[in-house]
Structure 1
Amino acid sequence: MTLQAKLDAFKADFEAGKPPYNVPYSVIETMHRATAGLVVSGAAARALKAGDRAPDFTLSDPDGRPVSSADLLARGPLVVSFYRGVWCPYCNMELQALQAALPRFEALGAALVAISPQTAPNSRKSVRQNDLGFPILSDPHNDVAAAFGLRFAMPDELVDLYKGLKNDLPAFNGDASWTLPMPGRFVIAQDGTVLYAEVNPDYTRRPEPDDMLPALRRAASVAA
């Protein structure tokens, strides 16, 4: 089953209110309005695209060790996936799909990192629960997400909904701003050029991991 098919199946059960979710339709309506508002805002059009230069970054892994994009790119191309947090089931399914594809990325000389605004303990939980062989890097205040053009402020209606659902993002992220990254996936060549970019303001839609393989093959052929 493809990643998107799994996401669609989860969404259908969640929005139907099937156990264990039992979510009232008013919650679904609020989520739909917030997603539609982000779509029509044009925020995704302002994100980095293929041909742009990726910003350099140094972020901490879940154990507090600094990880530098420059160091990773010195060894090969880099796959970067921006991840909302351990609380997001769509994101966790995406992480699992990326983990399954990791051997194919590594065969082409590429490294993979996820980037999330969540705190280090939550990233350790994500790594453990999803059985990941790649790091989740902490992006306080979504500053690196902003450099990639992904950071957005949640609308008040959605903030109130999350508070009512006890989904305390300030606690998850150690940041009171109520901002998130739009889910984004990038392939970066060793010279820092973005070879592949996929950004979707609808968090229920994610590209397949293998969609990045052509860009990774191009990067590998240039490096050879």
Structure 2
Amino acid sequence: MKQIPAFTRTIASQVDGYRPEFEARVGPELAAVFAREQEDLRRAGLPAGIARVGDRLPDAVLHDAAGRAVTLSTVLDAAAAIIVFYRGSWCPYCSIALKTYQRELRPVVEAFGTRLIAVSPQAPDVAARGGRQAGLHFELYSDDGNALAAHLGIVTTPSAESLLAREALGIDVAGSNMDSTAAIPFPTVVVADATGTIRLIDVRVDYTTRTETYEIIDALVAL
């Protein structure tokens, strides 16, 4: 029997604890911009054309931390996989989620023999630097032009107002991406079996919410 660790803090609870700190740091005007962005995303809901459970993963080309092109099938190497799509290392909610997945999923990945990777549209050097700053140890891959994310139907572009607000904070979304556009994926977790068939795809239009660890583990147990 594989031992599943117990978890004490959900991502949602960590975000709730972080939110007042974030709002105090950026100030009320920028906080209001981001609040409007999140409300607009929730109101718009999930886009049409998102991949479904039972679909096969495309064999898209990714780039590793050294900038080398590699196919997704090579990365996964016929193993079950957890693929985490994140917006970029500039996103604090992504950092909370990735750190949680690293802490809580690494022992599970070892127990199940599962691959755990994170994918963003950022340039490899930008993603690698962000990973080091966050203390991440699992593999980060770059999705040039959101090619893989587009196959899954999970690409979006932040509003002009929110991009200006991020620029005011020193964040250049387009400048950090491989294709120099501001397109990013919705935060998404995909669990695929060893054949590359999707068994879980959880897309979060509100980027302050994330797939909880127990949801990922439930999908792994069901494989």
**TM-score bucket of the superposed structures, by smaller chain:** 0.7 to 0.9
1:32 aligned residue (32, 35, 40): 35
Gap regions ≥5 residues in structure 1: 220-224
Contact in 2 for aligned 1:58/1:68 (Cα 8 Å): yes
Counterpart AA for 1:42: G
What is the TM-score with the length of structure 2 in the denominator?
0.87
Structure 2 residue 100 is the aligned partner of structure 1 residue 97: yes
Post-superposition offset of 1:72:
4.2
Q: Structure 1: how far apart are the matches of 2:126 and 2:56?
A: 30
Q: 2:119 aligns with which of 111, 115, 125?
A: 115
Give 1:102 shift: 1.5
Aligned residue for 2:15?
7
- Give the total of aligned pairs: 214
**Residue 161 of structure 1 corresponds to which residue in structure 2?**
165
Aligned residues of 1:80 and 1:187 also touching (Cα < 8 A)? yes
After the TM superposition, which of the residue ranges 89-98 and 123-132 deviates more from structure 2?
123-132
For residues 1-224 of structure 1, the aligned pairs below 5 Å read 1-15=9-23, 17=24, 21=25, 23-44=26-47, 46-100=49-103, 101-219=105-223
Q: Percent identity?
A: 32
Deviation of 1:75 after TM superposition, in Å, equals 3.4
**Rounded Cα–Cα distance in structure 2 between residues aligned with 1:208 and 1:113:** 16
CA distance in structure 1 between the partners assigned to 2:159 and 2:220 by the alignment: 36
Does the residue aligned with 2:219 lie in a helix, a strand or coil? helix
User: Residue 3 of structure 2 aligns with which residue?
Assistant: none
User: Deviation per CA, 1:185-213, whole angstroms, max 9, x where unpaired?
Assistant: 01011222211111111111112223111
Evaluate the alpha carbon distance shift between residue 176 and residue 58 of structure 1 in structure 2; reply closer, same or farther with a 3 A threshold.
Answer: closer
Task: For residues 115-154 of structure 1, give each alpha carbon's deviation from its aligned partner in whole angstroms, at most 9, with x where no partner exists.
Answer: 0111111111122123323211111222211111111122
Contact conserved, 2:174 with 2:183, CA < 8 A, in 1? no
Q: Which amino acid in 2 is paired with 1:27?
A: L
CA root-mean-square deviation: 1.8
